[in-house]
Chains A and B, each alone.
Chain A
Amino acid sequence: MTVFHFFNCAILTFGPHAVYYSATPLSEYDTLGTSVKAALVYLGTALVKLVCLATFLKVSETDSFDPYQELLKALIGFIDVAGLYFALTQLTHRNISQNHKFQAVGLGWAFADSVLHRLAPLWVGARGLEFTWDYILQGLEANANLVLSISLAALGSLMWLRKNKPKTLIPIIYACAGIVATMPSITSYLRRGLGWHFPKVVGFELFTSLLNSRLNTRQSHLKSTPHKKQLQKVKWGVHELGASENMVGLTYNGAALSFYGLAFHNRLVTNLSSPCKHISGN
């Protein structure tokens, strides 16, 4: 049942994007064009990053953590931020509200990222007879990436599209944006410098993605809405910037905490080699 497994991992990796698009008001306002444009911008950004990495980076023989190289990679990672800036501000979008714009851009960004980074390994690897947990973990990573991208897009829209920003929160916003932008370097440091296994890294990604989304929602509430709307936010069905993020963040919070706990206790790591034992033992 190998095509079956491929299908499972594919819907885990790409399903949430489609679900996000159809469930939120994005589908009503037909923001598909925005997402597609954002995906194309991501493609362009990835190509530019590739060229820069190839030019400036040395290929290391060992798999150790080289601070200088990682710093260089982090700097090149900021091209990502530049690309997102371009997608948010420079592209002409139809008259859609800011709320939906950043969501659509973030969604398109995350979808392009998943397709480019995860589709090829999935196609080649998940169809084989051999069973590994890798592709399921990759799918979870794609989910975390989705939340992270949308948070980054939210932060971006806060930074560049909002006209009225309270002075006190600016440094926090920039700090959060910095952390999210350098997430790839952080994960590679964890993997190589500290020697974490893949499940632990994925758990960490999920965990931070929620923390991020919570922080973002809190900030966006404080910034965008006057007092009375904040009170309204508590009710269901408020079409606010923060509410959707909050709820999404909450769901991921629960999932990631449990997953992270599992990974940390090494149960998953030891059971990597024999998933079938669980089933046959039942």
Chain B
Amino acid sequence: MPPRKPSDPQMLESVYSVIALFFMLVACVEFCDAATVVDVYRLIQYDISGFPFGSRLAALNHHAGSLHFPPGSDLSRTVLIIPFRDLNISFVKEYISQRQPLGGLLFLLPQMFSFANKDDKGSSHRDRGQELMKNAMAELEQLLIHANIPYPVYFAFEDNDIEAVLADIKRNDATGQPATATTGGYKLVIPVPEPKKIASPTITNIQGWLQGLKTDGDNQLPTIAIVASYDTFGAAPALSVGSDSNGSGVVALLEIARLFSLLYSNPKTRARYNILFGLTSGGPYNYNGTHKWLRSFDQRFRESIDYAICLNSIGSWNNELWIHVSKPPENAYIKQIFEGFSNVAEELSLKVGLKHKKINISNPRVAWEHEQFSRLRVTAATLSELSVAPELLESTGGLVDSRNFVNDTAIIRSVKLVSESLARHIYGYEGKNIEIFADNSSLGVNPFYIRSWLEFLSRTPRVAPFLSKNDPFVMALKKELEEHTDKVSVQHEVLDGIFTFYDSSRAKLNVYQVASVTFDLLLLLVLGSYLIVLFSFLVITTRGLDDLISLFRRPPSRKEEVCDLLLLERVLSRCTRKFLLRMRILPYMIPGKFLEGKCNVSVYAMEFFNRSSKRG
């Protein structure tokens, strides 16, 4: 054996570090191969003036449970999976308001609300069940938005995989044992980092002009503005497509722009009014975008705006629309606008009502878009199917607002209403019985255009803080407006400070079926006994039972060895010279066998002594 080198401690250290690294590698558990992977969408997380709302956590790593959990069990490390059909809103309300500890919530929405769902779109038939579901969902959405929930809340769509998982969980729960680490079951894992604040969320306003015909002597033509806000807000920002609020308004605006661009392309049919089209953002947040957009115009221009029509939710009405104003109805301008609309409405056999709501300058709440105009002394009105002003963050295009609740014909009729009344005003045909945008004419409203834009908007979630500066959707709107109007410009602003948003709106949920710790321990026990049995069998069959027993017998200690050797010495000293000779050889032979533990020295010694005495 070569002598030990002095660099051995260093080598040992490196060996230890390698071993440590190996153990670290072994211990890192892989998350890649789950049985089921589902797309999930997180509840929105935001602050208003520092007050937190929504779900405050994003990462999830708990066992799954269903609503059939045994009462009184501890759910602080369980995620409740609640399919929408079994939803009991009072239960959820109680859980959230009492701030009971929970690992997480997962709501399963019916496939009907999925915008990726390809079948049965556009059907306007609403049965009783759908209505009830819609109302329940709206209520749930409002509850979740205005609550401060300290655990993750996610939405997912029902599909076969997760239905099977849920059925299994329900069966397990029915046996009365809640799922914990020792009893096995399903584990839901969403490995995302902690949500961060979105720094300076941008809101983007797009405007386009149709220049009127300027004759000599006119220095500034009057302008009429048509405005619609395009962004949404909902419980799940990745699902807030807002087909009605305000997808319908955007589609109507685009169609009106197209119709008037046809008229304005020919100088002979160009009116002596400018038309300004505005697609604003920041609608749910007190029409912040509209406010900033208007402020960017100078006072002279604002005075030249004759009036502005704001479009808001015109996609699911039957035969009544409302015009909301903030100036009193006795005002001459308001009267003029309302009469124009009513005349056209009569011809189209629909009803238009007038609603007046006073604005309060000191109150920061802006319920309608026209109020932002009114605050800057511009005459404006909002055309909408809603009869009362929505509260903050209500009717802003959330979960309920999906494509199948929007009616194409309603939008077509609204477009006709607005464009006819507008055209009669700018061409001076008020009160005259003339239809400019007749159906099936070259100026008729194009239902295919409306349908295709509505489909596009119903697939695009549009929560403003989550839209980047040059988001493809915003660019698409800009491009479309450029086709119909000229002098299109885009204005980027930062959303006002009272609203703060947090990112992480969609994730992938991994569902793992885990075996309990008991199972692993049992398996270890079984395997250990199997190996021990195998070992015993092999030893018995190949080396004999004695060997098996000898494995467990304590080998004789050094002290016993010494004692036996001393005994041997004493025995040897009593023998004759002949046997001494023999004995001298013997001590060399005996220790070898003795160390093997195979013979007892004292027995050998006694035997030789007897033999020697016999031959003596």
CB distance from B340 to the nearest CB of A (A): 67
Residue of A nearest to B183 (CB): A280
Find residues 520-549 in chain B having any chain A CB closer than 8 Å to their own CB: 520, 522-524, 527, 530-531, 533-546
CB pair B541 A275 closer than 8 Å: no
Given contacts A5-B515, A129-B187, A131-B515, contact A281 B175 (CB under 8 A): yes
Q: Which residues of A contact B27 (CB under 8 A)?
A: 3
Q: Does B605 contact A (CB under 8 A)?
A: no
Q: Which residues of B contact A125 (CB under 8 A)?
A: 33
CB pair A1 B542 closer than 8 Å: no
Contact check: which of B517, B533, B541 meets A243 at CB < 8 Å? B541
Q: Which residues of A contact B516 (CB under 8 A)?
A: 276, 279-280
CB pair B540 A8 closer than 8 Å: no
CB pair A127 B523 closer than 8 Å: no
CB pair A247 B541 closer than 8 Å: yes
CB distance from A215 to the nearest CB of B (A): 18
Q: How far is the CA of A247 from the CA of B543 in the complex (A)?
A: 12
Q: Which residues of A contact B177 (CB under 8 A)?
A: 280
Segment with Cβ contacts to B, from A21-29, A62-70, A152-160: A21-29
Segment with Cβ contacts to B, from A9-17, A168-176, A184-192, A261-269: A9-17
CB distance from B160 to the nearest CB of A (A): 15
CB pair A20 B538 closer than 8 Å: yes
User: Which interface residue of B35, B168, B184 has the most chain A CB atoms within 10 A?
Assistant: B184
CB pair A237 B538 closer than 8 Å: no
| A235-252 interface bits toward B, Cβ cutoff 8 Å, 1 = contact, 0 = none | 011010001101110010
Q: How far is the CA of A125 from the CA of B33 in the complex (A)?
A: 8
Find residues 121-168 in chain B having any chain A CB closer than 8 Å to their own CB: 168
CB pair B33 A128 closer than 8 Å: yes
Q: How far is the CA of A173 from the CA of B533 in the complex (A)?
A: 31
Residue of A nearest to B546 (CB): A237
Q: Which residues of A contact B534 (CB under 8 A)?
A: 16, 19-20, 23, 251
CB distance from B13 to the nearest CB of A (A): 25
Residue of B nearest to A10 (CB): B527
Q: Which residues of B contact A24 (CB under 8 A)?
A: 538-539, 542-543
Q: Which residues of B contact A237 (CB under 8 A)?
A: 540, 543-546
Q: How far is the CA of A5 from the CA of B29 in the complex (A)?
A: 11
Q: Does A61 contact B (CB under 8 A)?
A: no
| B168-211 interface bits toward A, Cβ cutoff 8 Å, 1 = contact, 0 = none | 10001001010000011101010000000000000000000000
Q: Does A274 contact B (CB under 8 A)?
A: yes
Q: Does B514 contact A (CB under 8 A)?
A: yes
Q: Which residues of B contact A25 (CB under 8 A)?
A: 542-543
Q: Which residues of B contact A247 (CB under 8 A)?
A: 537-538, 540-541
CB distance from A135 to the nearest CB of B (A): 11
Q: How far is the CA of A125 from the CA of B34 in the complex (A)?
A: 11
CB pair B34 A130 closer than 8 Å: yes
Q: How far is the CA of A20 from the CA of B522 in the complex (A)?
A: 23
CB pair B30 A19 closer than 8 Å: no
Q: How far is the CA of A244 from the CA of B539 in the complex (A)?
A: 9
CB pair A129 B29 closer than 8 Å: yes
CB pair B175 A280 closer than 8 Å: yes
Secondary structure at the A interface, as helix, strand, loop or mixed, is helix
Q: How far is the CA of A281 from the CA of B513 in the complex (A)?
A: 16
Q: Which residues of B contact A130 (CB under 8 A)?
A: 33-35, 512-514
Q: What size tier do the contact residues of chain A reach?
A: 35 or more
Contact check: which of B29, B187, B531, B541 meets A127 at CB < 8 Å? B29
CB distance from A242 to the nearest CB of B (A): 10
Q: Does A163 contact B (CB under 8 A)?
A: no
Given contacts A25-B542, A130-B33, contact A15 B531 (CB under 8 A): yes
CB distance from B583 to the nearest CB of A (A): 31
CB pair B514 A129 closer than 8 Å: yes
CB pair A129 B519 closer than 8 Å: no
CB pair A276 B513 closer than 8 Å: yes
Given contacts A5-B520, A129-B29, contact A248 B537 (CB under 8 A): yes
Q: Does B562 contact A (CB under 8 A)?
A: no
Given contacts A22-B535, A277-B172, contact A8 B545 (CB under 8 A): no
CB pair B33 A251 closer than 8 Å: no
Q: Does B589 contact A (CB under 8 A)?
A: no
Q: Does B1 contact A (CB under 8 A)?
A: no
Residue of B nearest to A237 (CB): B544
Q: Which residues of A contact B540 (CB under 8 A)?
A: 236-237, 247
Q: Which residues of B contact A280 (CB under 8 A)?
A: 172, 175, 177, 183-185, 516
CB distance from A88 to the nearest CB of B (A): 20
User: Which interface residue of A11, A15, A19, A23 has the most chain B CB atoms within 10 A?
Assistant: A23
CB distance from A124 to the nearest CB of B (A): 8
Question: Which 9 pairs, one residue from A and one from B, show the smallest C-beta to C-beta distance?
Answer: A276-B184, A237-B544, A23-B538, A247-B541, A131-B515, A129-B512, A280-B183, A24-B542, A244-B542
Q: List 30 A-B contacts (CB under 8 A).
A: A7-B524, A12-B527, A16-B531, A22-B535, A23-B534, A23-B535, A23-B536, A23-B537, A23-B542, A24-B542, A124-B30, A128-B31, A129-B514, A130-B33, A130-B35, A130-B512, A131-B512, A236-B544, A237-B543, A239-B543, A243-B542, A247-B537, A273-B513, A274-B168, A275-B519, A276-B185, A276-B515, A279-B516, A279-B518, A280-B177
- A sample of 15 more A-B contacts (CB under 8 A), given A3-B29, A130-B35, is A4-B520, A8-B520, A23-B536, A24-B539, A124-B30, A129-B512, A130-B513, A243-B542, A248-B537, A273-B513, A274-B513, A275-B184, A279-B516, A279-B522, A280-B184
